[in-house]
Amino acid sequence: NFDGKDCRGLMVSPDGINWTPSTVYPNVGASDSPTSLCCDSENNCYYMYARKFNGDRRVWVWQTEDFKTFTELGLCMHPDPLDQAMVGFYGMPTFKYENMFFGLLWRIYCHQQTMGLANGPIDIGLTYSYDGSHFNRATYDAFIPRNPLGEHGGGCIYSSCMFVDKENTIRIYSGGSKAEHFQNQNLSDAAVMLHKLRLDGFMYLESISRTANLRTKWLRITGDELKININCPYGSAR
């Protein structure tokens, strides 16, 4: 809430500790999910991702170069017929990774009989984009699945930070709750969780029986070398 308006606003800080309101955007509605900010240095702009307003469980994107003027909001991710019934998209923190964008899609599994407001558990799906505006699903399975019930992350997982550390490991940090939708909001129900991936380990193919063959579409090799990311703990690659 900025200046009594149910809208979004911009906060600024000289030191990262003390923050003050800078700009109010009365035409950009408020939402109860976080707004993800992603810098695209190649195109000198910023992309922002969030639900358009409270209750709209889809992901929208808009763009700015100066935080003064903005493009129109565009719908970039919404449930489709291949999703589980009554699934909603609660948010999608997005990160630039080399020349692509990866989104950590918060998927809430709702039920019509829960508290009037559709509540339910949340896991993380994986999306990707080549331009920051148009996203695809990597898979409909959970990229970061929930832990067993009773453990942190057994009710909900809220992934919000991703980076590559100095050891070339991808680190993803999440908030994890035991209860669905953080309905049991006490200190013992909240935890920070860490998930790790090998570099470029967002997707993989795995052989399941003896010899496996992989055929790709035609590739044009433009450099001097070809690198293959492969792991053969009980065999060899040829």
pLDDT per residue as tens digits for the range 55-93: 788 999 999 998 888 888 899 999 999 998 889 999 999
Q: Does the pLDDT value for residue 115 go beyond 70?
A: no
- pLDDT at site 6: 75
The answer to whether the beta carbons of residues 180 and 158 sit under 8 Å apart is no
Strand, helix or coil for residue 176: strand
pLDDT: is 188 or 56 the higher one?
A: 56
pLDDT in tens, 127-186: 999 999 999 999 899 999 999 988 999 999 999 999 999 999 999 999 999 888 777 666
Span 113-131, average pLDDT = 83
- pLDDT at site 119: 79
Distance CA 157, CA 78 (A): 19
Distance CA 128, CA 34 (A): 19
CA dihedral (218, 104, 180, 192) positive or negative: positive
Q: Which residues pair with 64 in a beta bridge?
A: 46, 70
Write the DSSP symbol of residue 171. E
- pLDDT at site 86: 87
Distances (CA, A) of 223 to 100, 220, 226: 20, 9, 8
- pLDDT at site 53: 77
Residue 44's CB is within 10 A of a number of other CB atoms, namely 9
Distances (CA, A) of 100 to 30, 103, 132: 28, 10, 8
Distance CA 114, CA 61 (A): 29
- pLDDT at site 60: 92
- pLDDT at site 231: 83
In which band, very low, low, confident or very high, does the pLDDT at 205 lie, cut at 50, 70 and 90? confident
- pLDDT at site 131: 93
Span 8-28, average pLDDT = 85
- pLDDT at site 128: 96
